[in-house]
Amino acid sequence: SFTKVPLLVLLVMAFAVVALLGISSVIWSTLTSTDHSPKFYAIQVLNEFPHDPNSFTQGLLYAGNDTIFESTGLYGQSSVRRVALHSGEVEVLQEMDSSYFGEGLTLLGERLFQVTWLTKTGFIYDRNNLSKIETFTHQMRDGWGLATDGKVLFGSDGTSMLYQLDPQTLKVIAKHIVKYENLEVHYLNELEFVNGEVWANVWPTDCIARISHKDGTVVGWILLENLRKGLIAAGQTDIDVLNGIAWDSNDNRIFVTGKLWPKLYEIKLQPVR
Ligand code: DDQ
Ligand code: CA
């Protein structure tokens, strides 16, 4: 009849409009969305360098000019050392009192800051000769990792907390619980400030968390199991975990090693998702 035809046409038109709106909103959100979910990265080895297989690496940094500074742990074997990147040769060695277990290390200006496992005691050394300048006490549970952006010190103590310390007073000025989505990431270990982020070895895994120091959010995961597994496959069965990240801010190079690893690697990240 006369009234039925326009009704059917109206229904078809209404359906078409709804469908078009739906499709265009999907297209619009695809074009404008930003994906904030953490990114995952595999790694590629660009270079490998010799590393003292007796160094129980707990702190690692690159100071320019082929120079690595490293802190080592284990009671009676703890040290701070200056190492030539290319040869792995230990050029200056400062052995620590056997009551201390060396941990995180960072360089700010002319001074190296070091923390120690299970104590709140830290040490400051002169970068030129590694002589001890100062002993300090900090407010973290104990000492695991240290890094710096050139202004504050970042610290970890094996919990899920990422601390910011004032380099003058060594007092905690900020702290954030590190979270991957809504899960706390515990056992934050060796640290490095890289391109505006804080990277952390997560003990005792093959993973490095890329952390926003503004709020503790994990913005990415780096998966490095091929390094440890490669060493073991090559017969290096006495090695301990991946630990130690160093960043060359001038040439944007990333170095990693591990405790008792005979090698130190320059790596490049490859997004896997
Ligand atoms: N940390 O790197 C996880 C902070 C410390 C690791 C300590 C490993 C223990 C080795 C054996 C200790 C002997 C007293
Ligand atoms: Ca480091």
Mean pLDDT of the chain: 93
Q: What is the pLDDT of residue 33?
A: 56
Please state the rounded mean pLDDT for residues 160-179: 98
Atom 7 (ligand 1) nearest CA: 74
Please state the rounded mean pLDDT for residues 176-202: 98
Atom 1 (ligand 1) nearest CA: 144
Q: What is the pLDDT of residue 13?
A: 75
Nearest CA-CA partner of 253 in 36, 38, 49 = 49
| Segment 133-138 long-range contacts (CB within 8 Å, at least 24 positions apart) | 136/170, 137/170, 138/165, 138/170, 138/172
Please state the rounded mean pLDDT for residues 151-162: 98
Q: Which residues contact 52 (CB under 8 A, 6 or more apart)?
A: 83, 88, 90
**Ligand having the closest approach to the CA of 155:** 2
Ligand 1 in reach of 101 Cβ (< 6 A): no
Ligand 1 in reach of 199 Cβ (< 6 A): no
Residue 71, phi then psi, degrees to nearest 5: -115, 135
Q: What is the pLDDT of residue 24?
A: 66
Confidence of residue 7 (pLDDT cuts 50, 70, 90): confident
Higher-scoring residue by pLDDT: 6, 189: 189
Higher-scoring residue by pLDDT: 25, 52: 52
Confidence of residue 32 (pLDDT cuts 50, 70, 90): low
C-alpha 29 to ligand 1 mean position (Å): 49
Higher-scoring residue by pLDDT: 24, 70: 70
Confidence of residue 10 (pLDDT cuts 50, 70, 90): confident
Q: What is the pLDDT of residue 11?
A: 78
**Ligand having the closest approach to the CA of 199:** 2
Q: What share of the chain is helix, strand, coil (3-state, %, to 5)?
A: 15, 50, 40
pLDDT at 175 over 80: yes
106-122 pLDDT, tens digit each: 999 999 999 999 999 99
